[in-house]
Structure 1
Amino acid sequence: MKFEFENSYEVSDKIREKKIAVLPVGAVEAHGPHLPLSTDNILAEEMAGKLAKRVDAFVLPTLPYGQVWSLRNFPGSINVSNESLISILYDIGHSIHRQGFSSFVMMNGHLGNSTALKEAARKLFDEIPDLKVYYFFYPGMKEYAEEVRENNAAHGTYFHACEIETSYMLYLSPDQVNMDKAVRDIPDISLAADVTPTPWETFTDSAVLGDATLADDSKGEYILEKVLDNMVDILTQNEGAAK
């Protein structure tokens, strides 16, 4: 259920019933010629909706801006700092706890947000120990992606507008994908990129890290449904957080 469409007179009873709030957290950034700037928002929203149905949770309005330092110089990218993200996530966590939620799930659609989500969760854990806080970014996906990918990953951690992320979009939001414009761009990313600040324009002109032409909705479905199973298992096994 979408929290934003509730009204103040009825929502308190529903919060007591559901207990779990899922916040999609995305970004606005370059995703090559075939995917929209809002790809990470779309993926976070769609995954949040699927998870909410399976654990009977509320989906909060999307937090649409993320830390996109690496891609900030590409046309269309909008960057916010880790500090800003931590602050707003911390404030949202306090607020939903005050409203009566017992679990706060941050559904992350953008790798660059991971540090901020983790730090916000730690702050909330220290101050509100009875609020369960989770930060999900496709848990277990690396194993499942290796089972279906046809091309080697460009990087051990990054996946961006590539075979995998484009497959996610083809499964969750195919109308927003233009496969006629999909490209194959497998950049040479040096080890230094993992240990020193490295803007992505130094190794890619397209912002695509892989072969997007190999994307297929069945690959996206296979990976994401298994990821959803993992999230449900985590929630249901962690002290009965989900019903």
Structure 2
Amino acid sequence: MEFQYENSFEVKEKINQSKIAILPIGAVEAHGPHLPLGTDNLLAERLSQKLAERVNGFVLPTLPYGQVWSLRNFPGSINVSNESLISFLVDIGESLFNQGFRTFAMVNGHLGNQTALKEAARVLYETCPEMRVFYFFYPGMNKAAAEVRDKKSAHNAYFHACEIETSYMLYLAPEYVDMSKALSEDPIISMAADFTPTPWEEFTETAVLGDAKLATEDKGKYIVDIALENMVKMIDELKG
């Protein structure tokens, strides 16, 4: 169900029947020459739609801006601070609670948002204790990705415009992928990047962290479907 297309005369009863709100959260940032700036928005939105079908939830309008400090100097990137994002998410969550929702699932398409989502969820834990709040970012993907990837990741946590994320796009939003422009990059990311602020232009000129040419729809489907199954299971077990 798409929340923004409901009307105020009928939506209250529908909320009472579902009580599950799903918020896609992404970002606008560089994703190499083969993927659009809004890649994270597309992924979050389409994964949210699949999740809503499985749990009978409402999909809220996508929150299209995120914390992209690492890539903020690349052409096209738009950065929002953690503080702004936390405040925005808390306001949304409290409003949803007041409307009668008891499960709030934030489906994140951009790793850089996770700190803000976690902090917002902690605030809502205190202000809306009867509402279960999730901050999902492809749960279970690390193991699944290791099973299907053909090339070792450039970093133990980051994946960006690479074999994995491009595979997600080929599965969820293939019409926005131009594989003729896909790059194979092997950036050297120092250990220090995990322990001190490090803008990504220090180790990449393309924002591609790996071999996007190895991406396939089948790889994306395998990983995304596992993440989806994990999200469904958690919501079903813990929904308010």
TM-score range, shorter-chain basis? over 0.9
1:88 aligned residue: 88
2:37 corresponds to which residue?
A: 37
The one-letter amino acid paired with 1:130 is E
- 1:203-222 map, 5 Å: 203-222=203-222
Task: Name whichever of 137-146 and 229-238 sits farther off.
Answer: 229-238
Alignment length (residue pairs):
240
- Shift of the alpha carbon at 1:170? 0.2
Question: Where does 1:107-186 land on structure 2 (aligned, <5 Å)?
Answer: 107-186=107-186
1:4 aligns with 2:4: yes
Q: Could you tell me how far 1:127 is from its partner in structure 2?
A: 1.4
How far apart are the structure 1 equivalents of 2:181 and 2:188?
A: 22
Deviation per residue, 1:74-124 (Å, 9 max, x gap):
000000000000000000000000001011000000000000000000000
TM-score of the superposition, structure 2-length normalised?
0.99
CA deviations on 1:123-159 (whole Å, 9 max, x unpaired) are: 0001111011000000010000000000000000000
Distance in 2 (alpha carbons) for counterparts of 1:3 and 1:146: 36
C-alpha separation between the residues in 1 aligned to 2:18 and 2:131? 14
Distance 1:173 1:220 in 2: 11
**Aligned residue in 2 for 1:14:** 14
1:45-124 matched pairs, under 5 angstroms: 45-124=45-124
1:80 partner amino acid: V
Distance 1:229 1:186 in 2: 32
Letter in 2 for 1:226: I
- Map Cα deviations across residues 174-198 of structure 1 (whole Å, 9 max, x no partner): 0100000000011000000000000
| Distance (whole Å) between structure 2 residues aligned to residue 166 and residue 128 of structure 1 | 37
Identity in percent: 65
Uncovered stretches (5+) of structure 1, i.e. residues with no partner: none
Aligned counterpart, 2:230: 230
CA distance, structure 1, for counterparts of residue 199 and residue 133 of structure 2: 31
TM-score where L is the length of structure 1: 0.98
Per-residue deviation at 1:229? 0.5
Q: Please identify runs of 4+ aligned residues in structure 1 that moved more than 6 A.
A: none
Which sections of structure 2, spanning at least 5 residues, go unmatched? none
- Let me know the Cα RMSD of the aligned residues: 0.6
Q: Which residue number in structure 2 is paired with residue 27 of structure 1?
A: 27
2:211 and 2:70 mapped to 1: Cα distance?
Answer: 20
